[in-house]
């Protein structure tokens, strides 16, 4: 059993971290959106800015093609939302081990929060489905409920307020994208990057099981390098494997270290 005196809370991302192994739902919806608008985008292009509020994500993809028309961003975002909503229910299953990890952390006195690049309306679809499968964080904040989404820290701040936890250096942000890491760092929290189940590897559980162990190791190592370069304090393959990271953060806090 975990014994914690200093770590107060973990704030988890959703897709690729807590649910949706490989963070597939946003990729599928954005591919369809851009294809219908006559724009071919690759999964790698979409994944580059994953974690942002989806309107900002669309803006980044268009900007990379020299399109800076805000009316076009608004039009495409309006078309994106129902497309994403149509498929979200298929991708709201908690990733293996998430529910059990959350139970361990709560037993140790931690609170569990969450942030996302989805809007509140989209998040509600995911949240309700995930709850039926046993995952229900104590707080959930969407990017359209705060002044700015990632990499701004406001969703983390609101989680802390909603859960009544402080100081922020006693909290851990866990996510699978550089945007998650930036969000946590900007909030003054410790950060843990998720590799195997997340956006940086970008494979479903079934796809991951079909490749060789050597290839899985290579992909995870690349993901870890990218997340550490973004400023992650620690990395783990999955939320289920974050206990060691939390214990290490507890040790650092006890020694007087701060993120």
CB-based contact 202:209 (threshold 8 Å): no
Interatomic CA distance for residues 147 and 149, integer angstroms: 7
- DSSP bridge pairs for 193: 175, 235
The DSSP call for residue 94 is B
Task: Choose the catalytic residue: 8, 54, 55, 173.
Answer: 54
CA dist., res. 94 & res. 109, Å (int): 22
Helix, strand or coil, per DSSP, at residue 157? helix
Q: Which two tokens stand for residue 23?
A: 């963070």
Contact 92, 125 (CB under 8 A): yes
| Side-chain-facing half-sphere of 38: CA atoms under 13 Å | 0
| CA distances, 28 to each of 42, 86, 90, 91, 125 (Å) | 11, 11, 12, 11, 17
Query: How far is it, in rounded angstroms, from Cα 47 to Cα 201?
Result: 10
E-assigned strands of the chain? 9-12, 111-116, 141-142, 171-175, 190-194, 234-236
Cis omega before residue 66 (within 30°)?
A: no
Written as six digits, the tokens of 75 are 């039009």
Strand, helix or coil at 191?
strand
Residue 54 annotated to the active site:
yes
Residues noted as catalytic:
13, 54
């Amino acid at each position: 059993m975990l014994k914690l005196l200093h770590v107060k809370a973990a704030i988890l991302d959703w897709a690729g971290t807590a649910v949706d192994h490989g963070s597939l739902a946003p990729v599928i919806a954005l591919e369809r959106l851009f294809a219908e608008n006559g724009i071919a985008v690759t999964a790698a292009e979409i994944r580059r800015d994953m974690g942002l509020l989806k309107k900002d994500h669309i803006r980044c993809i268009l900007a990379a093609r020299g399109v800076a028309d805000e009316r076009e961003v608004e039009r495409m975002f309006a078309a994106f939302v129902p497309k994403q909503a149509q498929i979200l229910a298929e991708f709201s299953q908690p990733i293996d081990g998430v529910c059990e990890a959350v139970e361990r952390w709560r037993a140790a006195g931690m609170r569990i929060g969450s942030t996302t690049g989805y809007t509140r309306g989209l998040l509600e679809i995911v949240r309700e489905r995930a709850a039926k499968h046993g995952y229900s964080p104590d707080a959930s904040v969407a990017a359209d409920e705060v002044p700015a989404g990632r990499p701004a820290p406001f969703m983390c701040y609101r989680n802390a307020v909603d859960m009544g936890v402080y100081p922020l250096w006693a909290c851990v942000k866990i996510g699978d994208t550089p945007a998650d890491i930036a969000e946590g760092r900007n909030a003054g929290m410790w950060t843990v990057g998720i590799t195997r189940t997340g956006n940086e590897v970008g494979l479903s559980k079934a796809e991951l099981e079909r490749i060789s162990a050597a290839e899985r190791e290579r992909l995870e190592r690349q993901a870890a390098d990218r997340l550490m370069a973004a400023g992650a304090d620690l990395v783990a393959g999955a939320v289920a494997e974050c206990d060691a990271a939390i214990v290490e953060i507890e040790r650092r806090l006890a020694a007087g270290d701060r993120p």
